[in-house]
Amino acid sequence: MKNVPMVTVYIMGDAYKVPNDCTIVGAMEYAGLQLTTGVGCREGFCGACATLYREKGDYKLQSGLACQTVVTDGMYIAQIPFVPAEKPLYRLEELKPTVDTIKEFYPILFCCVACNTCTKSCPQDIQVMDYVQALIRGDIKRAAELSFDCIRCGLCALRCPAEIVQYNAAILARRLTGKYLLPESPDLVARVKEVREGKYGAELDELVKMDEKTLSKRYYAREIKIEP
């Protein structure tokens, strides 16, 4: 360890010396903090580790995933344990995929002034503001497409000056799109029918019996079929 260059970071205000190639999660654990919330898959997929930071000499408040962001010398870090975001209840089968549905459940979307702060804050490089704008004009399918890579870290909602809960509205958009706006997948219909008939045991048994290495190999070799 003695050859690893060290940097100083400030975690919740306290200074720690950590190796310069640490991620923010790595730095916090190196510093001896036990993370019980605000951390998850450590692979950039689960969205649990939203973080806010400032870098030395830069006035901008930046955001990202703690497991994907490498520390820099003089960085100030705050970990976000949870994002309290409004989430209305609805029954999808009673909705129509129209702008009026969006207006009913997420009226706050219409306060968007297109400042683009949400897009700047997104660690997934999603055009967040553009999908909000698509929802405002009722282009639900476009919103679903643009928001598809969302991992629900909540940074967009935290940073929005109009208090919009972008990522929850995006879920509604994707649900409406899946249910009403995309063609039905014949494979899915066939598979659901099989599952209803109880035909699912064999594949599951096969996976349960696999050792970790084979399972991992199978996972990464899986085919994802894109419907036309």
Residues that bind other proteins (CB under 8 A): 98-99, 112-116, 119-120, 129-130, 133, 136-139, 161
Nearest residue (CB) to other proteins, 1 versus 113: 113
Smallest distance from other proteins to CB 91, Å: 23
Nearest residue (CB) to other proteins, 62 versus 68: 62
User: What torsion, rounded to 10 degrees, do the Cα atoms 198, 201, 202, 207 define?
Assistant: 150
Smallest distance from other proteins to CB 136, Å: 6
Smallest distance from other proteins to CB 102, Å: 10
Nearest residue (CB) to other proteins, 18 versus 164: 164
Q: Which two tokens stand for residue 64?
A: 């990202």
Return d(Cα 168, Cα 177) in angstroms, integer: 14
CB 97 within 8 A of CB 139: no
CB 151 within 8 A of CB 45: yes
Nearest residue (CB) to other proteins, 118 versus 151: 118
CB 50 within 8 A of CB 28: no
Nearest residue (CB) to other proteins, 29 versus 139: 139
Smallest distance from other proteins to CB 18, Å: 28
Smallest distance from other proteins to CB 206, Å: 46
Q: Residue 19 phi/psi, 5° resolution?
A: -60, 145
CB 84 within 8 A of CB 66: no
